[in-house]
Amino acid sequence: MRIGFTYDAREDYLRAGLDEEHTAEFDTEETIASIDHALTSLGHEIDRIGNVRQLTSRLAAGDRWDLVFNIAEGLLGISRESQVPALLDAFDIPYTFSDPVVLGLTLHKGLAKRVVRDLGLDTPDFIVVEQDADLDGVELEPPLFAKPVAGGSSMGISKASKICDLAQAAGVCRMLRARFGQPVILESFLPGREFTIGIVGTAGRARVLGAMEILLQDEAEPEIYSYANKRDYHRVVRYRLADGEVAARASELALRAWIGLGCRDAGRVDVKLDSNGNPHFLEVNPLAGLHPEHSDLVIICRLCGIRYVQLLEMILESAEQRRIAQVRELRPRRHGT
């Protein structure tokens, strides 16, 4: 196939003046080059496109592709992850990973948790704080946990995120809103073991690759998989594949959430245990990082003996099933436009 490749290059935004934490979700040249190399090794022709504005220019110029490999996170707005797939939908161009509705829903952690709760799955009680008044009469019992409602890569998560006194909540939420320009999700803090579950496939073909437990070492910021811990993971975090009954229950919860939310191709679901050892949905990442060394989904695959190129091949195979169906369905209309 001739595959277009959309992404947000981190260096572009650093040069534009954004700081390290605000660009945590974006992709390094190492990631971009590794994906390009892996897809090329599978026999495909790769055309690097770049971000949503660069895609817009290319589409306006008449460029088209058999498929777009999309890892673009977007920069502006609560629907930023939806922008590239929405454009591709408008031009009937198939792409990897989830559609605009799912990406918009899941980026907003509060909306995603409402759907998960409606699916009958456990998730910590929460409120979304857009202004100080949203905390009036809050019934959540400390300890609590605060993070940006639409952040990724542990952005905005620090030791201040754990709130042990409700009186602290307003100040922490105010700080996060000011720093990241978005509402804050405030939820009950879960004290138990933490897992991230790797998933590949779509709907009935989706399956769990592995359940990876996140083990914070003595040198780490305690209790929280924070931005600082994630950045310094080589020194302060240990990862291991989990097995047994607890891991199986966490994996089942993750897979049900993945399918129920309509996620596609590959990604991760974060799960944590409560004080009774019951797994709860934290959030889903349907546009998971693909750095060849330190992205969590890639680490899960490495622990499971799955090579990087194999992961990308599985992603393409999942998307290819949609592409073939879409091409067949749209061919008469596309030739007529």
Per-residue pLDDT tens digits for 44-60: 999 999 999 999 999 99
What pLDDT does 336 receive? Answer: 45
pLDDT of residue 239: 96
Residue among 206, 190, 179, 185 at smallest CA distance from 286: 206
Same fold, 2-97 and 125-188: no
Interval 190-223: pLDDT, tens: 999 999 999 999 999 999 999 999 999 999 999 9
What CATH class has 125-188? Answer: alpha beta
Phi, psi torsion values for 144, nearest 5 degrees: -125, 170
| Region class of 305: left (phi > 0), else alpha (psi between -120 and 50), else beta | left
Q: Is the peptide bond before 191 cis (omega within 30 degrees of 0)?
A: no
The DSSP string of 190-234 is: P-S-EEEEEEESSGGG-EEEEEEEEEE-TTSPTT---HHHHHTHH
Least confident of 32-36, 72-76, 285-289: 72-76
Q: Beta-carbon neighbour count of residue 245 at 10 Å?
A: 8
Closest CA to 5 of 53, 42, 30, 39: 39
Neighbours of 96 (CB within 10 A): 25
pLDDT above 70 for 322: yes
Quote the CA–CA distance of 242 and 239 in Å, as a whole number.
9
Statement: residue 332 has pLDDT above 60: no
Predicted local distance difference test score (pLDDT) of residue 20: 72
> Measuring CA to CA, which residue among 56, 124, 81, 121 is closest to residue 289?
81
274 CB burial (10 A radius; 0-12, 13-18, 19+): middle
**Model confidence band, residue 335 (pLDDT cutoffs 50, 70, 90):** very low
Please state which of the ranges 16-25, 85-94, 310-319 shows the lowest mean pLDDT: 16-25
Nearest to 254 by CA among 276, 233, 274, 271: 271
Of 21-30, 147-156, 178-187, 270-279, the range with the lowest mean pLDDT is: 21-30
Count, in order, helices (H) and strands (E) of the chain: 12, 12
Check residue 108 and give left, alpha or beta (phi > 0: left; psi -120 to 50: alpha).
beta
> At which residue do the structure tokens 């792409």 appear?
95
pLDDT at position 337 is 47
Helix (H) or strand (E) holding 255: helix 244-261
First to last CA, the chain: 23
Kindly tell me if the per-residue pLDDT of 329 is higher than 80.
Answer: no
Lowest mean pLDDT among 25-29, 52-56, 217-221, 296-300: 25-29
Give me the architecture of the 2-97 domain, per CATH: 3-Layer(aba) Sandwich (3.40)
Q: Which region among 66-70, 151-155, 293-297 has the lowest average model confidence (pLDDT)?
A: 151-155
**What six digits make up the tokens of 284?**
């889903």
For the chain, give every domain's residue range: 2-97, 125-188
**pLDDT above 70: residue 110:** yes
CA-CA distance, 269 to 298, in Å (whole number)? 14
Strands (E), 201-328: 207-216, 237-241, 266-273, 279-285
Q: How distant is the alpha carbon of residue 2 from its chain centre?
A: 26
Per-residue pLDDT, 76? 83
Which of 197-206, 230-239, 253-262 has the least mean pLDDT?
A: 230-239
Average predicted confidence (pLDDT) for the chain: 93
pLDDT attached to residue 260: 98
